[in-house]
Structure 1
Amino acid sequence: MRILILCTENSCRSQMAHGFLKSFDPTLEVYSAGTKASGMLNPGAVEVMKEAGVDISGHTSDSVDKYIGQTWDYVITVCGGANESCPAFTGKVKHRLHIGFDDPSDAAGSPEFIHSEYIRVRDEIKARFHELYVTKLKDHE
């Protein structure tokens, strides 16, 4: 099963969703990309994922252009920006979903508050993508 997770910068939310899906089932072909890829991972996302036992430090931040024209079982957007500017895929996309999350990199305040926002969003992503995995992806080849 081939899954592409899209966000704007491909540095935070899409990377966390990518990491969690692979942790649920290493046999899934999971990729993530951005409509305006930053080219780097958000350090806060890497840190809170490591705290959750998932290492995403080896991921790359890639442009969606790399994946246009390919065949996908699921294309999932995780932020409003990507949902609004999601490109038309010229390949076959069986299912297109939008599961939106707040951007923790927009959080302002004390370092403790900002860290807590990364944790909150990480845990929301884990819960929503685990539900998706159990209801639609697991054993649904």
Structure 2
Amino acid sequence: MTVKTRVLFVCTANAARSQFAEALLRHIDSEHFDAFSAGTAPGEVDPRSLAELEHLGIRTEGLRSKSVDEFAGERFDYVITLCDKAALECHALPGAGAVLAWHFEDPVISTKPDAFRHAAQEIAERIKIFVLVKTKR
């Protein structure tokens, strides 16, 4: 049995971007990765996030907005922040291996049409590259 790489995705509210990242990484490669998400100031998962994931055929069971505090003391191989604000707040998470800062526009506050679809697509593309690089042997 191989040990899975543990990845924590963090954004501010844990309402859209980090939810997308958690669900997409699980969908793309749950054999090699355990995916989690949290927020620095968690609220509720935006229903449009769940609708977009369901539209893509990705399971949403168990997705809920969580605080980074829930993961205190846990070890992660990667902590990946998905917005500049979270990057500033998460630079010193104990138990974090590598900390990566990705930035995606927040679809919750975007005025662009199809913001949730675009955010999910952009995050999926980045995760596919991450998986490809990290699983290359």
Alignment of 1:42-81 (within 5 A): 42-81=46-85
The share of aligned pairs that are identical, in percent, is 31
User: Mind listing any 5+ residue stretches in structure 1 that lack a counterpart?
Assistant: none
Alignment of 1:1-141 (within 5 A): 1-27=5-31, 28-38=33-43, 40-86=44-90, 88-91=92-95, 93-108=96-111, 113=113, 116-136=114-134, 138=135
C-alpha contact 2:14 2:37 (8 A) present in aligned 1: yes
State how far apart, in whole Å, the 1-side matches of 2:118 and 2:61 are: 20
Q: Secondary structure at the match of 2:41?
A: coil
RMSD (Å), alpha carbons: 1.6
Q: TM-score, normalised by structure 2?
A: 0.88
Q: Secondary structure at the match of 1:133?
A: helix
Tell me how many residue pairs correspond in the alignment.
132
Q: Which amino acid in structure 2 is aligned with residue 43 of structure 1?
A: P
Q: Which amino acid in structure 2 is aligned with residue 104 of structure 1?
A: P
C-alpha contact 2:39 2:65 (8 A) present in aligned 1: yes
Over 4 Å off, 4+ runs: none
**1:90 Cα deviation after fit:** 2.4
